[in-house]
Chains A and B, each alone.
Chain A
Amino acid sequence: MKTIIEVRGATLQALFLIVFSIAMMVVDHRFQHLEIVRTNISLALSPLRYLVSLPATGGNWLNDWFTSHTELLEENESLKAEGRILSARLQKLEILMEENARLRNLLGSSRKIADEVIVAELLSVDQNPYSQLIEINKGSSDGVEMGHAVIDDFGIMGQVIHVNPQSATIILISDPEHAIPVQFIRSGTRSVAFGRGSTRQLELRYLPATADIMVDDELVTSGLGGRFPPDYPVARVTAISEDKVRGFVSVLAEPKARLDSSREVLVIKPRQ
């Protein structure tokens, strides 16, 4: 049987550890001091993470292996065609960029046009179903830093919130804790798009009822706040609902980026 002293000792220890973990949560939520603990533990656990991602990787590999010859030929053809179209567009774009630079020079503005990018691959998707984080295979040793924007071929995906030497954690724009400053291309109205925890939806709250917004309007980053570079596609408006009582409209938009299916992503390094 346990003695009274033993029980009391365990209670004190439990109380101490519980208070300690509450304190840890607060510190972790408010400050960055515990990042180092996180970094070291995830570094130690990285083999485990690799092991866990093996089934998915292996599946992809097998898939690639068994893709038939004709399919490859077809894919090759269509890629070539796409390449031709893209290079044609690129020519136009180059002319436009030159013109743009010239005009900006005329205006005396010094906005940067091209950003440097790092190509990264998805390592894993966060297992907490209530937040939307992904892990990529490039980290501080490749030049990824906290706050860098992340895009896929279609638009903005999110931003870097945590960096390890060989990997980085990205918070998606659809995370309920994430908000991104945006601008409507057509009307120029600025707003902020909040995540809702679903990869298919963003929400723009408290827009004035008089704002010029239509379904299918395109949203791009406004560049305000300095986190995201301006003019990257973010989302397309899918629904507008009016709050007649308070005179606001609330807008739902579908992210352009394939938040749930992109495997290759680009990390944008802001030019110094």
Chain B
Amino acid sequence: MSQLKYLVIYLSLLAALVLMILPLPDWVQIYRPNWIALTLIYWSMALPKRVGLWFAFFTGIILDTSLGTLLGQHTLPLLLIIYINLNLYQRIRVLALAQQAIYILVLLLIDQVIVGWVEGILGRPPPLLTFFAAPFIGMLIWPWVFVILRDIRRKALLR
């Protein structure tokens, strides 16, 4: 039973993965926020002992396979932002949601820059301006992600 409740974490990541690979029209595609990163950041902030680097690593590999990107292209930035988060979570947790959102924006931008950088190395540099739209969308929806996941966590009695 004590292990069963952690299933919630996996289920929420699975839901995030579905949102990541749900087919959308091309023009909406570039504004798709990084649901996986948002969900991972939340859990590593709430349960840093449980959701850490290894979690980020395996989630990243699954994300890379589903998106058809290089194995590691999304893993590397996820590792980086989760590492940053593991060092800062105690200070971030006490901030107001709006302030947290700015922190989230920074993390998502780091993620996006690395993904775009690798695309550039592979010879298909992404369009400059629209490429950075997704992290801003991610910042805007963070409060909702936070509240929803927090309620789920409380219902599942995770602490």
- A residues bordering B, Cβ < 8 Å? 7, 10-11, 13-14, 17-18, 21-25, 28-29, 34, 37-38, 41-42, 45, 48-49, 51-53, 55-56, 124-131, 133, 169, 176-177, 197
CB neighbours (8 Å) of B122 from chain A are: 29, 177
CB neighbours (8 Å) of A17 from chain B are: 53-54, 56-57, 79
Q: State the main secondary structure of chain B at its contact with A.
A: helix
Contact of A45 among B53, B66, B126 (CB under 8 A): B66
Contact in complex: A176, B124 (CB < 8 Å): yes
Given contacts A52-B22, A176-B123, A197-B124, contact A14 B83 (CB under 8 A): yes
Contact in complex: B67, A128 (CB < 8 Å): yes
Contact in complex: B70, A25 (CB < 8 Å): yes
Contact of A128 among B14, B68, B79 (CB under 8 A): B68
Name the residue of chain B whose CB is nearest to the CB of A124: B23
CB neighbours (8 Å) of B52 from chain A are: 10
User: How many Å lie between the Cα of A124 and that of B18 in the bound state?
Assistant: 13
Total inter-chain residue pairs, C-beta < 8 Å: 109
CB neighbours (8 Å) of B30 from chain A are: 129
B70 CB to nearest chain A CB (Å): 5
User: How many Å lie between the Cα of A49 and that of B51 in the bound state?
Assistant: 25
1/0 per residue B2-26: CB within 8 Å of A? 0000000000001001101111101
Task: Please provide the chain B residues from 55 to 112 with a CB less than 8 Å away from any CB of chain A in the complex.
Answer: 56-57, 60-62, 65-73, 75-76, 79-80, 83, 86-87
User: How many Å lie between the Cα of A176 and that of B54 in the bound state?
Assistant: 33
User: How many Å lie between the Cα of A25 and that of B69 in the bound state?
Assistant: 9
Contact in complex: B53, A169 (CB < 8 Å): no
Contact in complex: B67, A126 (CB < 8 Å): yes
- B residues bordering A, Cβ < 8 Å? 14, 17-18, 20-24, 26, 29-30, 32, 52-54, 56-57, 60-62, 65-73, 75-76, 79-80, 83, 86-87, 118-119, 122-124, 126
CB neighbours (8 Å) of B123 from chain A are: 176-177
B133 CB to nearest chain A CB (Å): 11
Contact in complex: B60, A21 (CB < 8 Å): yes
8 pairs from A and B in contact (CB 8 Å cutoff): A13-B54, A14-B79, A25-B70, A25-B71, A25-B76, A127-B23, A127-B67, A128-B67
Contact in complex: A25, B14 (CB < 8 Å): no
Given contacts A22-B72, A25-B118, A56-B23, contact A45 B80 (CB under 8 A): no
A242 CB to nearest chain B CB (Å): 25
CB neighbours (8 Å) of B86 from chain A are: 10
A137 CB to nearest chain B CB (Å): 15
Contact in complex: B72, A42 (CB < 8 Å): no
User: How many Å lie between the Cα of A55 and that of B17 in the bound state?
Assistant: 16
